Structure 1
Amino acid sequence: MNLIHFFTLGFFPEYIVMGIILGILIGIYTLFRVKYALNDSNLSKNKQIIISSIIAILSFLFCLNIWSMGAILIFYLFISSLIADLIRIIQKYLIKEKHLNFIPIIHKKGLLAIIIFTIIILGSVYGMNHIELTEYNLTTDKIDNKSYSILFISDVHYGTVQNTQLVKDSILKMNNLKPDIVLLGGDIVDERTTKDSMQEIFEELGKINSTYGTYYIFGNHDRQPYTSDYENGNRTFTDSDLNQSIEKNRIKILNDDKITINNDFVLVGRSDAEWEDSINRTDVNEILNESDLSKNIAVLDHQPVEYEENAQEGVDLQLSGHTHGGQVFPYGMIYDLSGRLNYGEYEIKDMKQIVSSGLTGWGWPMRNEAKCEYVLININ
């Protein structure tokens, strides 16, 4: 994470209004909170106002790009200070315990907020550096006397915010699961992944042994469309480099295409939906044309979209990633409040939708919502 990423990572101008509102809120709070902390100092009133104003303005500016590392850190410092204020109020009006007389001192100087902030950040760094297995058990009457295990891996963003050795160690554990099918749900790499790292991750993923092969779809970052958000301003590999590396490692690309697996599964791999409200791709009913709907039909779609249409078409299972389960508070909460699918297992009519939080995360080297995971789906 360099200085440029701290300010510009993932800038999308359509979110500027949210950044302005957040910046004003935090800026006003910061102005009064810093002035309160300086009240007992030897500084003159004018100097206190100047220092408070400068810090408030900087806080406002950091918040303008809500996807930047600076905005997240300022927001968490704001939340930490509010929690510290609440602790102080409880101590003053409810507990009134003489043994807690140190709280007013460390609260006024901001030390209590800094302690809480440090705990939040350390916990978030821990969350990004631990990967867990998540299992789902599904039943179907479309497969006779057989069971299948599907390993689903999404949102690796390799070589960016997570220790690459941790990813490699997790892939070794995945191989021990001996899955029947391996599905790669997109965003395996992104704009900050080097060409060497891109080749390395597909070589590692290609080592996972499965009965019926490994299948891959593109996410919104794999082909590096957002290079303007990053310091080099250029792609580090071409589409041809990416495709060759994938196929070289015996991974099959599905891009608005389908394949029948062992005469039991029809697997549909979707092209990425880009922005959710501007989808321009082949309809799933066209892809499923002439497919045997008595077979188990699974759709692999990077973003959890068009699930109602898929359920209507007779799809049994849809697997998606993209959301990261929010990754850092409050993004997951915003997803949930907006009514969009964020993380976990959902039931839409007769279809199961599973949204993975991803193996890693994007942008920020932290995670405090959902978890880093790889998913095993057992179908019986």
Structure 2
Amino acid sequence: MFVLLLAVVLGAAHYYLWKRVVRDTTLPGRARRIGTVVLVVLYVLMMAALSVTRLGTSFDAVIGWPGYLWLAGAYYLVLLLAVLEVPRLLLVRAARRQQPVPVTVGAEVSGGAPEAVAAPVPEAPGVDPGRRLFIARSLAVAGGVAAAGVVGYGATQALGDPRINRVPIALGKLDPRLSGYRIAVVSDIHLGPLLGRSHTERLVRMINEQQVDLVAIVGDMVDGTVERLGEAAAPLRDLTSTHGSFFVTGNHEYYSGAQPWLTELERLGVNPLRNERLAIERAGAAFDLAGVNDVNGESFDDAPDYARALDGRDTSRPVVLLAHQPVQAREAAKHGVDLQLSGHTHGGQMFPFHLLVGLQQPVRSGLETVDGTQVYTSNGAGFWGPPVRVGAPPEIAVVELRHNFAG
């Protein structure tokens, strides 16, 4: 049903594009037929990228790159043309006002009395077809150039190096001896048909350069099975930190086969936290690190269990929770979590999609407080779908725990 609904919505968007980019800019004939065929082919290619690439075929990348790029292009082209509807209507109205109006002239009738008559005018006054065509073509070109520019910029953001964001976070319960403890937070790596081993190698290199105390991978690492992507994930074995690397599931792990991936990550030296916690100690002081499964695990008999992960601990010391989705903070807050590290939102990935994230998640990006629990939500280090990021650059966050901001 989801795929069917998506096909209908995207089909309606492509019909709108056909009206504005093909029908309005061409005369009946060969050019219009070619434009129609091209748009249909792009629609089919896009739908294939959304569906076929999940099957693990050898054509994933061949179909995925053009299909997903066109998805981003169509998205922005529809938005831009919709914005241009206002100037289009104004231009058409202005052109209509400039059309000739009937001219009254005198004509003599029987008896010598003049009678007013109108000079001949076209039977269907309106915008001159040539002028209407010029307006449509000008706006289509403007929208196309702008959309191509936005997508091109977004592709450089998505495919470039993630930013290193240094985030100081004060925890009132933190022992001063732990002040300055640094956690590298990386989420939403999304290894798959468009991102492979070189992407993982880059992330590992960048994380290792930070010389952190702990690495937290907070879900959505893969879009595919271990058989397909095990080699792409292999560089994770080279992560280095004082207290090791830890992982919690995201929704995409369940779509890709969570249990085989958990086994593979253990083999690579990345420790899954499955509704559990452990003490992290330094210089005689400690805080608790806990992890809960993603909420989508409930559909796979692997639901998050906050009580198991958080109850019965020493509440005099802080607890840092790894949980894929920011919305999980509402339940975590009931268990006294001091800080939750999350991902999932991609920061919205493509503006203005940002506006929709708030309908589902309490935090789109960055550090906020939810029901008394601090939540840091990473933009993620990869992308899902289009290899495009606009207004939400990829990141690796280096969270520095502090007893207070001066410490």
CA distance in 1, matches of 2:40, 2:206: 48
CA distance in 2, matches of 1:377, 1:76: 34
Aligned to 1:195: 227
Shift in Å, 1:185: 1.0
Report the secondary structure of 2:147's partner residue.
helix
Aligned to 1:145: 176
Aligned to 1:75: 75
Shift in Å, 1:356: 1.1
CA contact (8 A) 1:360 1:372 kept: yes
Q: Which amino acid aligns with 2:77?
A: L
Candidates 299, 303, 320, aligned match of 1:298 = 320
Aligned to 2:19: 31
CA contact (8 A) 1:23 1:59 kept: no
CA contact (8 A) 1:300 1:320 kept: yes
CA distance in 2, matches of 1:129, 1:156: 12
Alignment of 1:326-365 (within 5 A): 326-338=348-360, 340-365=362-387
Shift in Å, 1:278: 9.9
- Describe the superposition over 1:59-96 as per-residue Cα deviations: whole angstroms up to 9, x where unpaired: 887898996735443222222434555666789999xx
Report the secondary structure of 1:156's partner residue.
coil
Aligned to 2:128: none
CA contact (8 A) 2:249 2:293 kept: yes
Alignment of 1:1-380 (within 5 A): 13-14=1-2, 16-17=4-5, 20-21=8-9, 23-24=11-12, 26-28=14-16, 30-31=18-19, 33-38=21-26, 41=27, 43=29, 69=68, 71-83=71-83, 105=134, 108=137, 110-130=140-160, 131-146=162-177, 147=179, 148-162=181-195, 164-191=197-224, 195=227, 197-201=229-233, 203-222=234-253, 225=255, 239-240=259-260, 242-262=261-281, 264-274=286-296, 281-338=303-360, 340-380=362-402
CA contact (8 A) 2:186 2:218 kept: yes
Gaps of at least 5 residues in structure 2 are 52-67, 95-132, 403-407
CA contact (8 A) 1:20 1:63 kept: no
Report the secondary structure of 1:121's partner residue.
helix
Q: Residue 355 and residue 278 in structure 1: after superposition, are their counterparts in 2 closer, same or farther (change >3 A)?
A: farther
Shift in Å, 1:168: 2.0
- Describe the superposition over 1:21-59 as per-residue Cα deviations: whole angstroms up to 9, x where unpaired: 564355246325532211xx4749xx96x7787778778
CA contact (8 A) 1:162 1:365 kept: no
Q: Residue 374 and residue 285 in structure 1: after superposition, are their counterparts in 2 closer, same or farther (change >3 A)?
A: same
Shift in Å, 1:194: 6.0
CA contact (8 A) 2:221 2:253 kept: yes
CA contact (8 A) 1:128 1:372 kept: yes
- The aligned length equals 342
Q: Which amino acid aligns with 1:245?
A: E
Q: Which amino acid aligns with 2:239?
A: I
CA contact (8 A) 1:152 1:184 kept: yes
Aligned to 2:102: none
CA distance in 2, matches of 1:265, 1:145: 11
Q: Which amino acid aligns with 1:81?
A: L
* Greater mean alpha carbon deviation, residues 350-359 or residues 21-30: 21-30
Q: Which amino acid aligns with 1:349?
A: D
Structure number, greater radius of gyration: 2
Shift in Å, 1:178: 1.3
Shift in Å, 1:116: 1.4
Q: Where has structure 1 moved over 6 Å in runs of 4 or more? A: 50-66, 87-94, 275-280
CA distance in 1, matches of 2:21, 2:83: 13
- Describe the superposition over 1:85-143 as per-residue Cα deviations: whole angstroms up to 9, x where unpaired: 5666789999xxxxxxxxx9586163322211210221121111121111211112322
Shift in Å, 1:255: 0.7
CA contact (8 A) 1:345 1:354 kept: yes
CA distance in 2, matches of 1:72, 1:31: 19
Shift in Å, 1:360: 0.7
Q: Residue 145 and residue 29 in structure 1: after superposition, are their counterparts in 2 closer, same or farther (change >3 A)?
A: closer
TM-score relative to the length of structure 1: 0.75
Report the secondary structure of 1:354's partner residue.
strand
* Greater mean alpha carbon deviation, residues 53-62 or residues 114-123: 53-62
CA contact (8 A) 2:346 2:383 kept: yes
Q: Residue 374 and residue 80 in structure 1: after superposition, are their counterparts in 2 closer, same or farther (change >3 A)?
A: same
CA RMSD of aligned residues (A): 3.8
